[in-house]
Amino acid sequence: MGLQANGLKVNTFNDPQLPLSEFKEGVYDLVILDYKMPKMNGFELYRKIRMMDEKVGVCFLTAFDLHP
């Protein structure tokens, strides 16, 4: 991943429940979320992360077609 090649630590998860169990306030500078995920969409995960850390940066990305 390009971020790691530039010396950044990257954690990836395929299940949106997993980052909730590992997320800690002040540890992450940026969270990149996909909108369309199994079990929970990106906005739901965003709200839960935001309750744990009001300052972490969040970026939404998706390959999901919003306008057919």
What is the three-class DSSP state of 33? strand
Instruction: Output the pLDDT for position 64.
Output: 64
Instruction: Output the pLDDT for position 49.
Output: 94
* Domain range annotation of the chain: 26-63
The mean predicted confidence, pLDDT, of the chain is: 87
Which burial class, exposed, middle or buried, applies to 55 when counting CB atoms under 10 A from its CB (0-12, 13-18, 19+)? Answer: exposed
Residue % of the chain over a pLDDT of 70: 91
Find all residues with CB under 8 Å of 41, minimum gap 6, and list them. Answer: 35
Residue pair 32/9 in contact by the 8 Å Cβ criterion? no
pLDDT at 35 over 80: yes
What is the model's pTM? 0.79
Torsion of CA 51, 27, 30, 35, to 10 degrees: -50
Instruction: Output the pLDDT for position 19.
Output: 86
Instruction: Output the pLDDT for position 1.
Output: 56
